[in-house]
Amino acid sequence: SDNKNFTLAVVPGDGIGPEVTTEALKVLDAVAAQHGVTFERTEYDLGAKRWHATGETLPDAELEEIRKHDAILLGAVGDPTVPSGVLERGLLLKLRFTLDHYVNLRPSKIYPSVGSPLANPGEVDFVVVREGTEGPYVGNGGALRVGTPAEIATEVSVNTAYGVERVVRDAFARAQARPRKKLTLVHKNNVLVHAGHLWTRTVEKVKADFPEIAVDYLHVDAATIFLVTDPARFDVIVTDNLFGDIITDLAAAISGGIGLAASGNINPDRTAPSMFEPVHGSAPDIAGQQKADPTAAILSAALLLEHLGLPAAARAIEDAVTADIEERTGSVRTTAEIGDAIAKRA
């Protein structure tokens, strides 16, 4: 890019993915026009339909094409007609691992007018920095004697000093840029002692470079308690791939629901494009019916703008979403109607 004209790879994917992606692009275009930037888009037909037609999930040649873009916008992948894991591992995780998306960024905020299932959540505005390329998701494992009473299955959690330190540094830097300047490490270092001690020691070490940051530690089980009883205590949470996956669904649930939860799969070193997507999946139960809330996909486009160095444009989307949310009356709108309303405000 030349900082004004960006290239964007779009993977609408399965289920509600195409519906919410359409709205995210609508809002992105509206904001881009006002901020003097353009997004030249290439759409990639990947997901369940492609797999049924050709047996392919993500051919290497296509991955290399995608790699040439400035950023990636993804809807969702996964379909009940495809064996579980085929698309999640072969497409989604392949993108995250190959493009070295070691920061999976998931902000959580309670919008006053949306409410929360919690009676008294307080002012909730935190961000989870979930490690994206290691932990139990690397596929380091295997099975023996499958289907017999003697079956063995392993799923090894891989944690490297290099991998832990780079994500911990990123989390500290994000805490430094936020007003409350607080970092909470979430792990289970009393039981998972090998990985847990590496994470704990790494946080202790990196802390020396960020003297302004207040550091806290919680076991993951205790973190689930506080996410419900006192979510306002959190500012930046850093944690591994699996714990991050689970606590961010809980975070979404307490803060307006899965329809609002946005995420970025970020390569902070910018050696490959980062990928932005809603936290939710393909929601086959409501797909094709214009029932999906596109807000999470739209907020993911805001994270994309922020990453590309366009904070004012990102803020324009966030403000448009906030204004739209404040006026939500409970009357049902289609996916496109929500996208239109937010695009008009952006």
- Contact residues for ligand NAI (CB under 6 A)? 16, 20, 76-78, 88, 92, 258-259, 277, 280-286, 292-293, 296
Q: Which does 306 bind (CB under 5 to 8 A by kind): ligand NAI, Mg ion, none?
A: none
Per DSSP, the residues of 314-329 read: HHHHHHHHHHHHHT--
188 carries an active-site annotation: yes
221 carries an active-site annotation: yes
Q: Any binding-site annotation on 79?
A: no
Q: Any binding-site annotation on 257?
A: no
Q: Which does 245 bind (CB under 5 to 8 A by kind): ligand NAI, Mg ion, none?
A: Mg ion
Q: Which does 258 bind (CB under 5 to 8 A by kind): Mg ion, ligand NAI, none?
A: ligand NAI
- Shortest CB 29 distance to Mg ion, Å: 28
Q: How is residue 191 annotated by DSSP? A: T
Q: Answer for the pair 273, 66: CB distance below 8 angstroms, yes or no.
A: yes
Catalytic residue among 29, 216, 230, 249: 249
Q: Does 134 bind Mg ion (CB under 5 A)?
A: no
Q: Specify the pairing of strand 182-187 against strand 214-219.
A: parallel
Beta bridge partners of 43: 10
44 carries an active-site annotation: no
Q: Any binding-site annotation on 285?
A: yes
Length in residues, the chain: 346
Tell me the C-alpha to C-alpha distance, in Å, between residue 154 and each of 136, 159, 216, 346: 10, 16, 32, 48
Q: Any binding-site annotation on 34?
A: no
217 carries an active-site annotation: no
Token look-up 């330190």 returns 165
Q: Does 245 bind Mg ion (CB under 5 A)?
A: yes
137 carries an active-site annotation: yes
Q: Which does 104 bind (CB under 5 to 8 A by kind): ligand NAI, Mg ion, none?
A: none
CA gap 106, 252 in Å, rounded: 9
- Shortest CB 146 distance to ligand NAI, Å: 21
Q: For residue 288, give both structure tokens.
A: 């094709």
- Shortest CB 242 distance to Mg ion, Å: 10
Q: Any binding-site annotation on 205?
A: no
CA gap 169, 165 in Å, rounded: 6
CA gap 78, 51 in Å, rounded: 11
Report the catalytic residues.
137, 188, 221, 245, 249
Known binding-site residue numbers for NAD(+): 281-293
